[in-house]
Structure 1
C-alpha cells in the first residue's frame, strides 16, 4: 500500500508495508478520502504522539469502501461505502479499524462529504452530550468556531436545542457561523469575548481548543455549575484561572481528548451519531462543511493551508476518490 511518510522537510506519498488482514471485530477499508485535523499538525511536530499500539501514520478519519471483514463482523459487507473514526493511519491507501468505529455513509452524501464527518462530529457529540452532559436549552460557547469541530458544534447545538455563541478570527467566518445557526458571535481581534458572552446570557458549557489566556476569560462567562471542556492548547500550554470563581460558581474545568479513548467508548459515540445525527444529516438539518481538497500527494500544501487558520470547515485529502 501507499501512505504519507513524514520527513524533516516534507510529507511524502510513498510505498509502505501492507497492513495485516483485519482481526476479529475489525474491518479493512480502501481509503477514498482522508480528513485533515489539527491533531495531525501537532503529531507532525512531535507534540501529540499516537497512543500505544496506534498507527504512526497521520490521519484520524477516512471514508472509503470496505475491502475485508474480520471474524464476527456481520453488519457490514465487502464493498459497503463507509466513513470511520481512527486512532491513526488515515493518510494511506488502506486502513484497518475496529468495526465499532465505522458507520455507513449517510443517505444522500458521497464519499467526499462523508470524510468530513467522523472526527468532528464524534468530538462535538462526546464533549457536548457525554462529557458536559448538556440538556436542551443549555447554552454553549465555542472558540475557533469556523473550524471543523466548531461548525459541527454550531449545527448540533441548533439541531438539539442548545444556543451557541461563536468566536472566530474574521467577520467573514462569523457571518458563516451565523448562517449555520450561531445566535451570538465575537471577533477575537476585537479583544476579550467575555462581556459579549455575558450580555448574551452566559454559557452552561464551553468547548475551548485554545486554552492559554482564554481560560480566565472563559471562567467569567460560565454560569453556576458551568463546564469548561478544554480540547486543545492553540493558545499555549500554560494558563491562569481563578480558584475563587471556580469555587463560588461550582465550575468544572475538564481536559478531554477523543483519540486515546477505548474502543468501547468510541463505539458508544459512533452509535449515538448513527441514531441521532445521521437522520438529521439525511434530512438536510446538518451538513458537512468542506473548505478545500487536495490530492494526497500534496498533503504538505494542504497542511500549510490548515495551519494558516484560513480554512472554514474541513480540509480533505483525495486518496482514491
Structure 2
C-alpha cells in the first residue's frame, strides 16, 4: 500500500443535523485482502438502497465499508496474494457491499466482471447492482423460461430497464408497469410487449387481458404494500412472485387464499449480505449467459444522468424525484 496515498476522497453520511446528508470528505484508503483487488474507481452507480442507508434503514453488513455505493467501474491497481484471474491494469465493473462512492475500493475478486466491449466506465458502472439482482431473482430463483409471461413493476427504474431487456432476450413475453405514458413508451422501446400506466390503468385487469386470463408466470415487484394482494390476482397458476423492495412500505394486509388456490410461490431476497461465494456464482453466470449479449450490443445499460462525485446528494435527489429513466451514475475524478 506504500505506493498509494493514506487518505482518499469519499462521500460521507454526516449526521450533525436533524436530517442525515451526504458530503464529500476524506477516508482512509481501503485495506484489501488476499482474495481482493484494489480498484481506482472511475464511476459508481446510484441505487435506492443507498438512499435507505443515508436515513439508517439499510446499514452495511458487519465488516463492510460505511461509505455508500453498491456498484462501481474502474481500474485494478493492486491485487491480493491469492488472486489469479485479474491483473493490475485490468478494467472491471463490480458489485460491492459498500464503498463505491470513493476514489478507491477494495473488491472481492470473485465479484468483478470485465467491462463489456463498446461500453465505457460510466455505462459499466450501471451494470452490476441491477444485473446481479435481476439474474439472481428472475432467472436463478424464479427460473423464468422462454415462452412464459414476465411482469415487472417500475419498468423504467434501473432494475426495470435491465429486467425488461434480459427477460425479452431470453424469450419471455414482457409486461411492464410505469407511471406515465412517456415511461410506458420507454419500456416498449426497450422491448416490453405491453406497458401499463399504473396511474390510469388497473394492471391486474390489463395483465389478465394481455394473457387471455392466464396471468403472469413471474412477477418482479419493488413496490410491495397494496401491490402484494394485486400481484396475487395478476399471477398465473404456479406463478412466482419476487419482492425485492418496499416503495409502498414493508407492511400489507392481504388475503392469502389465492396463494394456496393458485399454488403461488412468494419469494424475497437481498444481495448485500450474501456471502462472496454466492455473488461469485452470480458473476460467473452473468459472464457466461449475459456478457455475450452486452458484448454484441443486443442489450445495454440505460443511463439517465451522470453527476460528479462531490454532488452525490444531487444524484440522490434525482432518484427521490422519480422522473429518471434508467440509471444515475456518479463520475469519480
TM-score category of the 2 structures, normalised to the smaller one: over 0.9
Aligned pairs for 1:90-129 within 5 A: 90-129=100-139
Mapped pair 1:228 → 2:241 = yes
- For these two proteins, the number of residue pairs brought into alignment is 319
**Residues 78-115 of structure 1, C-alpha deviation per residue, up to 9 Å, x if partnerless?**
01110000111100110001101001101111111111
Distance in 2 between the 1:282 and 1:17 partners?
Answer: 36
Which of 40, 44, 63 aligns to 1:53? It is 63
- The normalised TM-score by structure 1 is 0.97
1:219–1:241 Cα contact (<8 Å) kept = no
Distance in 1 between the 2:331 and 2:14 partners?
Answer: 21
Distance in 2 between the 1:314 and 1:44 partners?
Answer: 19
Shift of 1:17: 1.2
Aligned to 1:73: 83
Mapped pair 1:12 → 2:23 = yes
Aligned to 1:267: 280
Shift of 1:191: 4.5
Which of 243, 248, 255 aligns to 2:261? It is 248
Aligned to 2:93: 83
Instruction: Give the superposed CA RMSD.
Output: 1.0
Shift of 1:282: 1.0
Aligned to 1:155: 165
1:294–1:318 Cα contact (<8 Å) kept = yes
2:21–2:54 Cα contact (<8 Å) kept = no
**Residues 148-178 of structure 1, C-alpha deviation per residue, up to 9 Å, x if partnerless?**
0100000001110011110011111110110
The SS at the match of 2:290 is helix
Q: Which has the larger displacement, 198-207 or 30-39? A: 198-207
The SS at the match of 1:174 is helix
Aligned to 1:293: 306
Distance in 2 between the 1:121 and 1:313 partners?
Answer: 13
1:145–1:151 Cα contact (<8 Å) kept = yes
Structure 2: unaligned runs, 5 residues or longer: 1-7
- The normalised TM-score by structure 2 is 0.94
Distance in 2 between the 1:254 and 1:52 partners?
Answer: 25
Aligned to 2:4: none
